[in-house]
Structures are given as C-alpha cells and as structure tokens.
Chains A and B, each alone.
Chain A
Amino acid sequence: MEDEGQNDVSVASSSTVDCDLEEHRELNYLGLSDCSSAESYRLTSLSGDRKNDLNLKATELRLGLPGFQSPKREPNLHFVSSGKPDEKLLFPLLPLSQKSVVTGNKRGFSEVNDPIPKEGNWMFRASENEGPDSSNPGIKIKQSVGTAGAQSNLGNGIPSKQSKEHSLATSQNNASNNAPAAKAQVVGWPPVRSFRKNSLVSTSRNNEEVDGKLGAGALFIKVSMDGAPYLRKVDLHNYSTYQELSSALGKMFSCFIVGQCGSSGNLFKEMQTADSSKDLLHGSEYVLTYEDKDGDWMLVGDVPWNMFMNTCKKLKIMKGSDAIGLAPTAAEKSTRGY
C-alpha cells in the first residue's frame, strides 16, 4: 500500500485507500461524511506534530526481509540491525530454498559468535536428531557418542552450542528492559492450560515410577547385585551398546567382587547379541539380567539395544548358577517375532 495520503491509523474506510482522502471523501447515504474518517483526521492532527517521529511511510511494511531496501527508503528503519553488516541479513526475495534460509540464519549467527563452518553446525544438529539414542536432540551431547558421523563434529558442535546459548543469554539481558524478572516463574506464563500442565506432570511422574524416566533427560535404572550391600543406579542413556553397559557395570561393582574379573576386565561372560546363539552360561560367575515391563526376568542381550532401553525396569547381577532357568524363557520370547 503505497498511498501517500494514508496517514490515518484507523482503517475504517478501507475502500478509500486508493484515493487521496482530501478529495474523495466518501459520503454515506445521508450526504454526510463518514464520522469515523473524521475521527481519524482528529487523531492524525493530534499526532500531526508527531508525524515526523512516526515516519509512517518509512515504517510501511514490505514483505521483504530486513536489510533489503528499495532505493527510496529512508535510512533509519526499525528493522535494520544494529551495527552488523547488512549482507548477513540480505536474502533474495525470490522463493528461497529452505536450506539457504535456515543456514543463512545459522551462518549469520555463528559467524558473529564463533567462526565455525556451517557444515559443522548442520551436521551436529543432524546427528543429534538421527542418532538412535537421542530423545532430546537439543541437549544431550553425550547421546551422539554412538553415532560415527557426529564424532568428528562434536568438537565443533559443542562450542557452537555453548556460544549460541551464551549469546542468547546476553540478548536476553540486553532486551529485557520492560520485563518483570523474566527468569523467575511468572504466574500464568507460559500460557499452557493447567489441565495440560497437570497431565504432563503426572505422565512424567508415572514414568518415573517405572524406575526410569522415558524421554527427555536421563533414564535411570536401579542395578542390584546378589550379595552386594547396596544397589546402584545407572543412566541407560549413557550407553549405546551392551558392551559399554557391561564394562561400566563391571567397574561399578568390581569393589564387591574379589578377583572375579575375566581377562578383558569384563565381569560377565560375553553378552548375548540378538544374533548369537543362546547358550552362554558355561558356569561363568555372574550374568546380567533385567526385569522387563511384564515383570519377567530375562537375560540381558536378547533384544536390540533400543528395545532393551525401553523395556528394562531393573537390572540385576546374578550368579550364573541362578540364571540358568532364564535362558529358555528368553529364547521363547525372542522367537515370537517382532
């Protein structure tokens, strides 16, 4: 809307937009001019001396992105960023490929904060989300441990994430001139219905009752051991293979065992993978078992790691002799097909 004459803030007579209001004032059927446009005149004359401040023409919106200016525009527009070179924010008005917009943002941002090639950022985020163990892509850097692709970029990824958060924090500090203690919990903010809030709270509480928390954050599972005076908790999200779990547990419980570790330092006889055959209990001292959601005790290693993470309620390190009865059950379950 390029209308020079359109200075009124009310949009009462939008049909007169194209006309110069001085000449073509619309008359209603009584022959009087529309009251509201008279009002709007009053309003603009009140703010007439403010017209220059408002600079309405300059603040006229175009649907271009900030930094893209037609030659006529006046220099001090609201959306010109402070001090940064325009080219960072200068995007062509033609339909953009999705990636260029998104990475454009990223580039501008990260170049300001940290000279990291955009590929690094991109891959870091990609690996976060596609890694098998990721439940909260934004946060847990540890989760990418198992994903080969992320390895090389982890070093790049972490500092950029930190710097992003750092600059977000500073921007919050700069920007909150009007904010009442924005970090403290404000009543009724964010505007989520109490019903929904309460539902989510009780869902996460229920999940915790199952001796583990699904989803965002850690997945803590209790680990007990025959003969040990107390039990430990492990966060299953820290591991992505049975091997890792087993060695971690071995280290954790080694203090309870005297001279039982195998040659490789592993406490347990080789862990069963989904492919290997069932028979492993050749009189090894300890085996690792778990209680699943149905309450059955099974040998660890039967199922794919992901499924194990989701079904495991408790872990127990049993003496090998106690665990012999488990083997057929585990085999039975695994032949059901999935």
Chain B
Amino acid sequence: MNYFPDEVIEQVFDYVTSHQDRNSISLVCKSWYRIERLSRQRVFIGNCYSISPDKVIERFPAIRSLSLKGKPHFADFNLVPYDWGGHVYPWIVAMAKSKVNLEEIRLKRMVVSDESLELISSSFANFTSLVLVSCEGFTTNGLKAVAANCSLLRELDLQENEVEDHRSQWLNHFPESSTSLVTLNFSCLKGEINLAALERLVARSPNLKTLRVNRAVTLDSLQKILSWAPQLMDLGVGSFIHDPDSETFYKLKNTIVQCKSITSLSGFLEVAPYCLPAIYPVCSNLTSLNLSYALGIPASELIKLIRHCKRLQRLWILDCIGDKGLEVVASNCKDLQELRVFPSDPFGAGNTVVTEEGLVAISFGCKKLNSLLYFCHQMTNAALITVANNCPNFVRFRLCILDPTKADPLTQQPLDEGFGAIVQSCKGLKRLSLSGLLTDMVFLYIGMYAEQLEMLSVAFAGKSDKGMIYVLNGCKKLRKLEVRDSPFGDAALLADPGKYETMRSLWMSSCEVTLGACKALARKMPMLNVEIIDDSELTVDEALCGGAPVAVTADGDDKQKVEKMYLYRTLAGPRNDAPEFVCTL
C-alpha cells in the first residue's frame, strides 16, 4: 500500500474532507489509520457521550475543529428533562489541558456554561470560530469573555440558543483591534445591545459577510450599520418597523439598494407589512429567505414579496402564506430546493391555512425540491403520491399534520400509501418524519424502499411490534430512530440487538417497552448505554427548576412500562454525570 512516503499520503488525505470518507480511509490499513489520525483536523462527534474527550485527543492530536452534539433530538420538544446532561465543560477542560491547537468549536443541543466560554476564550490562542445551535446554560457574561479575549475571532454564530441576559454590554468588549469578524449572529439574544458599539464594530470589520442582529436593533441603527457594510452577503434584521414616510425609512431603502451582495435574508423578529417593500430591491438576488418569525404579515404582502424573489433556493415561512401563497411560490421560485412552512398558531384549532393543496402546488412548480418541513392541517394520500411523482429528489421529508393521528380526509384511510409512495420514489431519502394516521403498513414500505434512510421520526403511529421490526430489518443505513407514543414493545426492542451498534441512538417514549426488556438488552449489549429516564415524579415546573427528583433505579418491577428510554452506542461506558432521574442499566 505504501509506495509513497507518509508526507505524500498525507497530502492526498488533505483532499478528503468528509467525516465519513475519512473514517473509511482510516480502516484501510494500519499505516493509513496512523497517517489519517495524525492529520485529521476536523472531528465530528455525533453523540458527546459516545466517547471520552481524552480518547478523542489521544487519537487526533492535530485536532483544530471540534463538533459535538448533546441531547437527543426530541429534547427540542420538551421531551427530555431539563437536567438530563450534555455538558460541554469536561470537553473544554480536557482540550485545554492537553494544549491542542483548537480553533473552532461547534455545538448543538449542549449545555454550555459561562465557565466553559471563559475557559475557551483563555485557553486557545488561535481560536477563531464559535458556533452554538440550540444550546443553553450561558449568559451574556460568557459572551463578554469570548468577545474580549478571542482576538482572532472570525465567527460568533449563536442560533436559537436560550441565553440569559445579564446586561453585560458584551458587544462593547470587542477590542478596537478586533477587525477580523466574518460572521456575527446574535439574533437569539433577548436583551439590549449597545447600538453605537455595534456600529463601530461593523465599521471596523471589512470582512464581515454575515450579520444577524436581534430584536433590540432598530431600523435606524440597521440603516447606519448597512451603510458601513455594503459587502454583506447574509443579513438578519431585527426590528423592522417604522413609519414608512419617515426620513429613516427613506434612507434605509437607499442603503439597502447599495448592498448588492446580499443573498440571504432572515430575522424580521418584529415587522410591519408596509415596511417590506424596503427589501424589494435585494429580492432578485436572494437565494435564502427566512420569514418564519415574522408574525403578522398577511398572505397578500408575502405574495407580493415572493414575486420578486425568482432565485430563491431556500424559503422558511409561516403558514399564513396559505395554499394560494404557496402556489405563487411554485410559479415564481423555480430553483427552490428547501422549503419549511411553520405553524403560526400551533395550538389554534383550524387557524392554520395550509393543506395538502399547497404542497401539491409546490411539487408541480419546484422540481428541484429536496428538503421539506411542512406543518399543515391535513394531508391526503393522493397529494403525497402526486408529490412523490413530481419530486423524486427528496433527501429530507418531514411532514407534521397538526392533529397527529389524522386520517386522509378524502378517504378516511391511513396515510400509509402516501408515505409509501414517497419512500419508493425518493431513492436518496435520508431523513423522514411521519405524522397522521398510520398503521404498520407504512413501516413495511419504509423497510422495503428507504434504502438510504438515516433518520426516522415516528409519533403516534403503527399498530404492533411488526412496524418497528420492519424498519430495523430493512433500513440498513439507519443511524437514528426516535419514536414516541407508538405501540412498539419488547418484541420490537429485542428483535435485533446487534442493530443498535450500527446506529447512533434510539429514543422511545410512551411506547410499550418494559423495564425487563431494557435490562435484558443492556445485559446483552455492553457497548450500549441504555438509559431509563423517569421524570414522572416531577411536575413540569419542578423539572424546569431542577427540583429534587426521585432517583430512578433498576429495581423496579420488570413488567412495568418504561416512560422514556434512550439508548446509544458508546465506548465510554455509563456516563458519570447522569442526574438522579436517569438510570443507565
């Protein structure tokens, strides 16, 4: 194998960048394993509990970029108790101690404390990039440390995090010498911002390409900021309300026209419809538009806006756009690849205004569509089959019918056939979320046809263990399976224990799985952590405030049902930071 010196092979490996590919080449032979591990700079750990930080550092001493994911996906929807885990601090400590040259940290669904941020800012001299997605546990004090100490900072990207505002004036702490910012996204922060400091920061950051501000940044300030940054490519606006006759508004329109590089627009956390025309000039260049937080814009205004956006590839929008609005999208946005339609009123019965018709219209107009998240009031098999016919390129297909067990309203049938058509037609489907009335049949189809499926989300679906067994048997590439409120029990769980070592994780809540079966599985598969999570003793409020839970043990009756089970493959053994309500069997 090795006709070339290591340095040459290393050069070749430099071109191999995807994690999966690098994992593959490391398996070829011992010397490739060695060369690969010594040269790998970007490390992705999909489950922070699957391996210890020390092992990672030992294997990849040249690590420069660390990506970690913590809580299971269903944590997004309050199904995982507050204190479950996912702390990043041990990782930062280990990295700091080992003196690796860490430059980039990307975290998703992790608990990040201010101490962690402070440690990051003081331990890594070349630190350039911090990306936090759906994280929590830190305050603006932590941000202050990052701003003040990371002199080479290029990227500070905070997406949808829960951040406590301690009025830290963190923006002021970027030193005057800091001129390297390329990405600054603080749209999720709820507090006030020193607007003058922000303006000065933008003015001295000539490389700034992405700027997403929070609600506290007014139109006034935005106009001044934009005049300093005509090179911006990605803009997230904060408050977009003003008297359309005012001088400020007039100036803003002129300034926006100068920003010829803007291809992505988002934010609009507060917006009035009559202000939207200000952005018409940039619409023709937009490839990405996120209006999913913009409550209160009537469909007619949205439609007018969309008509200007002929080049859109990604659109995130609220369902107020309506089926008719989606028809306009279909006829205007021929390049659309990703569409997300969010509910403007998740609990309002009957207030949602998109149905299967909107989706069908989209499928006729947007043939390049490959990624969908669609919250709707109803769906029919006929519509899904039409969509499957029109758009065979789906990689991600996530459908959420607001009434989770709703049948096809035309035929009263389950939606098995519709989803079956999707998996049969979309041969590259990697991610699928189901909803509506579904029997075991849909899982048979998924097992038969969804050969590339990596992640499946199931809620209120299926009739028996067979459903889950079809999926576990059929989907060879399955990595993540999450199930809630479905009648899958012990037979399904234990049908193929070895399968779970080929997967990242399995979540089952409110199913029919018993404690005994979980214990049996844990005994049989030592490489799995089988966690039982029992927060039932807590009220919701107690859980949120970290109230004293009752300790969960493995001593209960084997026949009792387990409310929440989360299992994942791991090299690190049972974790030592599990709270009382989590028991690793």
Q: Which residues of A contact B (CB under 8 A)?
A: 9-12, 14, 39-40, 43, 54, 59, 61, 63-66, 78-79, 81-82, 84, 89, 91, 96, 98, 101-102, 105, 108-109, 125-126, 129-132, 134-139, 165, 167-168, 171-172, 174-176, 178-180, 182-183, 185-197, 199-200, 203-204, 206-207, 213-216, 292-294, 306-307, 310-311, 333-334, 336-338
Contact = CB atoms under 8 A, between A and B. Distances in A.
A291 B325 CA distance: 33
A9 B412 contact: no
B107 interface: no
Contacts, number: 263
A204 B405 contact: no
B147 to A, nearest CB: 22
Nearest to B402: A190
A329 to B, nearest CB: 12
Contact of B300 (A130, A175, A176, A336): A130
Interface string B399-443: 010111111011111101100110011000000010001000100
B292 to A, nearest CB: 8
B284 interface: no
A172 B420 CA distance: 22
Residue among B347, B403, B413, B447 with the highest chain A CB neighbour number at 10 A: B403
A336 B476 CA distance: 66
12 contacts: A11-B474, A64-B385, A66-B411, A102-B361, A109-B410, A129-B322, A171-B409, A172-B406, A178-B405, A179-B404, A190-B404, A215-B295
B412 A82 contact: yes
Contacts of A82: 411-413
Nearest to A168: B409
Given A182-B404, A193-B76, A216-B351, A79 B322 contact: no
A191 B76 contact: yes
B351 A182 contact: no
B297 to A, nearest CB: 7
B425 to A, nearest CB: 6
Nearest to B344: A216
Given A102-B360, A175-B437, A78 B410 contact: no
A203 B77 contact: no
B411 A81 contact: yes
B382 A63 contact: no
Interface string B222-241: 00000000000000000001
Interface in B361-405: 361, 364-365, 375, 378, 380-383, 385-386, 388-389, 400, 402-405
A89 B382 contact: yes
Given A135-B320, A168-B409, A129 B300 contact: yes
B98 interface: no
Contacts of A168: 378, 409
Given A193-B134, A333-B245, A89 B352 contact: no
Interface string B284-314: 0000000011011111100100000000000
Nearest to A64: B385
B398 to A, nearest CB: 9
A199 B269 contact: yes
A132 B413 contact: no
A78 B272 contact: no
B473 to A, nearest CB: 5
Nearest to B388: A63
A297 to B, nearest CB: 14
B451 interface: yes
A61 B424 contact: yes
A79 B381 contact: yes
A256 B382 CA distance: 60
Given A178-B487, A192-B375, A215-B297, 20 more contacts: A63-B388, A65-B382, A96-B386, A102-B361, A109-B410, A129-B325, A136-B351, A174-B412, A178-B463, A179-B404, A180-B485, A183-B349, A189-B404, A190-B404, A195-B134, A203-B296, A215-B298, A216-B345, A293-B243, A334-B245
Contact of A175 (B325, B406, B433): B406
B460 interface: yes
Nearest to A206: B270
Interface of B: 74, 76-79, 134, 160-162, 188, 241-246, 250, 269-270, 272-274, 292-293, 295-300, 303, 320, 322-325, 327, 330, 342-347, 349-353, 356-357, 360-361, 364-365, 375, 378, 380-383, 385-386, 388-389, 400, 402-407, 409-414, 416-417, 420-421, 424-425, 433, 437, 441, 444-445, 447-449, 451, 457, 459-460, 463, 470, 473-474, 476, 484-485, 487
A310 B351 contact: no
A167 B425 CA distance: 31
A197 B343 CA distance: 10
Contacts of A137: 299, 322, 324, 353
Contacts of B457: 191
Contact of A188 (B322, B345, B474, B484): B484
B417 A138 contact: no
Contacts of A185: 347
Residue among A12, A179, A191 with the highest chain B CB neighbour number at 10 A: A191
Contacts of B357: 102, 105
Contacts of B274: 306-307, 310-311
Nearest to B244: A338
A98 B346 CA distance: 28
A43 B473 contact: yes
A195 B162 contact: yes
A101 B404 contact: no
Contact of B245 (A79, A98, A135, A338): A338
Residue among B244, B274, B382, B405 with the highest chain A CB neighbour number at 10 A: B382
Given A11-B476, A172-B403, A179-B460, A192 B324 contact: no
Contacts of B245: 333-334, 336-338
Residue among B297, B409, B470, B484 with the highest chain A CB neighbour number at 10 A: B409
A108 B382 CA distance: 12
B464 to A, nearest CB: 11
Nearest to A213: B296
Nearest to B495: A43
Nearest to B509: A188
A215 B296 contact: yes
A87 B410 CA distance: 13
B442 to A, nearest CB: 10
A336 B420 CA distance: 59
A175 B320 contact: no
B165 to A, nearest CB: 13
Closest 3 pairs between A and B when the two form their complex, measured CB to CB? A215-B296, A175-B407, A214-B296
Given A43-B473, A178-B460, A187-B79, A195 B272 contact: no
A174 B324 CA distance: 29
A294 B407 contact: no
A125 B343 contact: no
B385 A63 contact: yes
A179 B381 CA distance: 19
Contacts of B378: 168
A9 B293 contact: no
Contacts of B160: 193, 195-196
Contacts of B188: 195
Contacts of A171: 406-407, 409, 412
A197 B476 CA distance: 35
Contacts of A105: 356-357, 380, 382-383, 410
B369 to A, nearest CB: 15
Contacts of A337: 245
Contacts of A81: 410-413
A125 B324 contact: yes
Given A63-B421, A63-B424, A129 B409 contact: no
A178 B484 CA distance: 13
A191 B405 contact: no
Contacts of A10: 447, 473-474, 476
A206 B241 CA distance: 12
Contacts of A125: 323-324
A200 to B, nearest CB: 6
